Structure 1
Amino acid sequence: MGKINTILFDLDGTLVDSNEIIIQSFKETFKHYQPNVEYTREQIIEMIGPPLKETFKIVSEEPQVINEMIAYYRTFYQKHEFEYIKLYDNVIETLKKLSELDINLGIVTTKFEESAMPSINLFSIDKYIKNYSFLGSVSEHKPSPEPVFYVLKQFDCVDKALMIGDNPSDILAGKNAGILTCGIEWTLVKDRLKATNPDFWIKDYKEILEIVEKEI
């Protein structure tokens, strides 16, 4: 028995509501490279989560084409990011209180560092979270446990850890790493997320404070 002293968060769709800019970036990229194919919003939502190089294989297996699509996507994303993104309710307040409780805080994202840090810095998330796993930090990505282990090793002492995310790959990465997991109510893929059977489920960030007070 013991209390959670380490929490890892996914970034997009978990801490930061970037769903709309991600959807629009996909739409514009597909429109440019597949002008005769129209993906529905629901189809695009199902694509959110994995690295872009995996997602864009539905268009081409050619590395050059995939790299061009990634560059096009990122250009649109970076140009319009701040028009769309926002924090979910009670994120900063909760991170502040967790930090005051000396909870280790980290982020595990499938974004490259240069793509992830603008939103992290914009909302001052970096004031509370110092340890990260970005795409490229390790050789494998979620649902592999490797990025989870990568962040956990950055802390001096980990007793019990919790992975929080909005995508099935987040929960599976936590489970594969042997740590506790938590799903979120505001996910766009609620049925698929619940099907992974996370240990906890929250409807508001403040509920995390209740979880860390429990002896587990």
Structure 2
Amino acid sequence: MTRKIDTILFDLDGTLINTIDLIIASFQHTLKVYFPERTYPREEVVSFIGPPLSETFGRLNPGHEEEMIHEYRSFNHANHDRLVTEYEGVQETLDTLKDAGYQMAIVTSKRRDTAFQGIELMKLNAYFPVVISLDEVTRYKPDPQPVDLALEGLGATAEHAIMVGDSQHDILSGKNAGTLTAGVDWTVQGADHLASFEPDVMLTSMRDLPEYLKAFK
């Protein structure tokens, strides 16, 4: 018997909202402050996207994580509304899914206040009664804890859920929690890279998701 899917969990950045230019600019600004002698091209900065800032900056500059995070967030907040844009088809897809009765949550590695800056800018509040951010977890994606907490908040189970995201951390977190997984081919790290982590489906547009889910009614 085909498993029934009634719950959809989404990553935020790079999946529901286009924050890629903002993230890359924030990294490049911060790295310029701390490593002025080096240039970090866009292609290299892309490899930093996914893990929490503490992990990335801890690897790049051990012992200076907190001050680098502060620099990053100051730039990020100041430039947020100027650089964040919407992805085509997201709003209408969320309307379709909500009307169809799916329950939905966001699972992000951002801090809660920063996540809600993007959620409110793109008017996504009404779709997501549960938002799991970095502030709610002790272990972050790819650990299953963020997904588990979102499912718990919705009163849902992994067997009946799918995790949608643009990085391997999203796919692995969903797999580790026992959900189906969907990758998005507009990922900044490249569709082939994300597909190598074997999500159950790769979406070429967010509009593909309702059609895919028809098989799990």
> 2:150 aligns to what?
151
> 2:81 aligns to what?
82
CA drift of 1:138 comes to 1.3
> 2:24 aligns to what?
23
Give the counterpart letter for 1:49 in structure 2: G
CA drift of 1:156 comes to 2.8
> 1:211 aligns to what?
212
Structure 2 counterparts to residues 104-123 of structure 1, below 5 A = 104-123=103-122
Q: Gapped runs of 5+ residues in structure 2?
A: none
Q: Is residue 184 of structure 1 aligned with residue 201 of structure 2? A: no
Q: Any idea what SS the aligned residue of 1:70 has?
A: helix
> 1:99 aligns to what?
98
> 2:174 aligns to what?
174
Q: Which moved more, 1:101-110 or 1:183-192?
A: 183-192
The superposition leaves residues 36-83 of structure 1 with CA deviations (integer Å, 9 ceiling, x where unpaired) of 121121110010010000000233221xx2111101100101111111
Distance 1:132 1:53 in 2: 21
Q: Any idea what SS the aligned residue of 1:213 has?
A: helix
Q: 1:78 to 1:161 in 2, by over 3 A?
A: same
Distance 2:48 2:60 in 1: 13
State how many pairs are aligned. Answer: 214
Q: Is residue 199 of structure 1 aligned with residue 200 of structure 2? A: yes
The superposition leaves residues 117-145 of structure 1 with CA deviations (integer Å, 9 ceiling, x where unpaired) of 01101111111111111002010000000
Give the counterpart letter for 2:173 in structure 1: A
Distance 1:20 1:215 in 2: 35
Distance 1:142 1:177 in 2: 10
> 1:55 aligns to what?
56
CA drift of 1:14 comes to 0.3
Q: Any idea what SS the aligned residue of 1:162 has?
A: strand
Distance 2:192 2:128 in 1: 29
TM-score between the two structures when normalised by the length of structure 1: 0.95
Does structure 2 conserve the Cα–Cα contact (< 8 Å) formed by 1:5 and 1:212? no
Distance 2:58 2:192 in 1: 25
Distance 2:178 2:155 in 1: 18
Distance 1:57 1:138 in 2: 19
> 1:126 aligns to what?
125
Distance 1:83 1:99 in 2: 29
Query: In percent, how many aligned pairs have the same letter?
Result: 38
Give the counterpart letter for 1:135 in structure 2: L
Does structure 2 conserve the Cα–Cα contact (< 8 Å) formed by 1:171 and 1:198? yes
Does structure 2 conserve the Cα–Cα contact (< 8 Å) formed by 1:95 and 1:128? yes
> 1:141 aligns to what?
140
Give the counterpart letter for 2:103 in structure 1: N
Does structure 2 conserve the Cα–Cα contact (< 8 Å) formed by 1:10 and 1:108? yes
Does structure 2 conserve the Cα–Cα contact (< 8 Å) formed by 1:3 and 1:213? no
Distance 1:196 1:2 in 2: 21
Distance 2:32 2:53 in 1: 16
Give the counterpart letter for 1:78 in structure 2: H
Q: CA RMSD in A?
A: 1.2
